[in-house]
Amino acid sequence: MSLDEAVADFPADEINTKPPNLSYSFLHILEHIRIGQWDLLEYVQNPKRVARVAREILAARRYHDRRRRLECEC
């Protein structure tokens, strides 16, 4: 089953509804799938590529590491 087939009958007015016991909406789930598919296609075309989410995580770690070092120097 394709993604188009899976969501074909999904009610548009429910797209921002959060499923039971989850903190994110159906739209968030679809966006996660879309980003994952895009990252996978980009990786297949260029295995040396780093996924966008991985870049963001690495940038956040570097930022927090720099802050910790600056706090220790004071």
Mean pLDDT across the chain: 81
Mean pLDDT of 31-52: 79
Which residue type, as a one-letter code, is found at position 20? P
Residue pair 14/7 in contact by the 8 Å Cβ criterion: no
Q: In terms of C-beta density within 10 A (0-12 exposed, 13-18 middle, 19 or more buried), how is residue 51 classed?
A: middle
Contact 53, 42 (CB under 8 A): no
The arithmetic mean of pLDDT across residues 37-48, rounded, is 80
Residue 46 DSSP class:
-
What SS3 state is found at 29?
Answer: helix
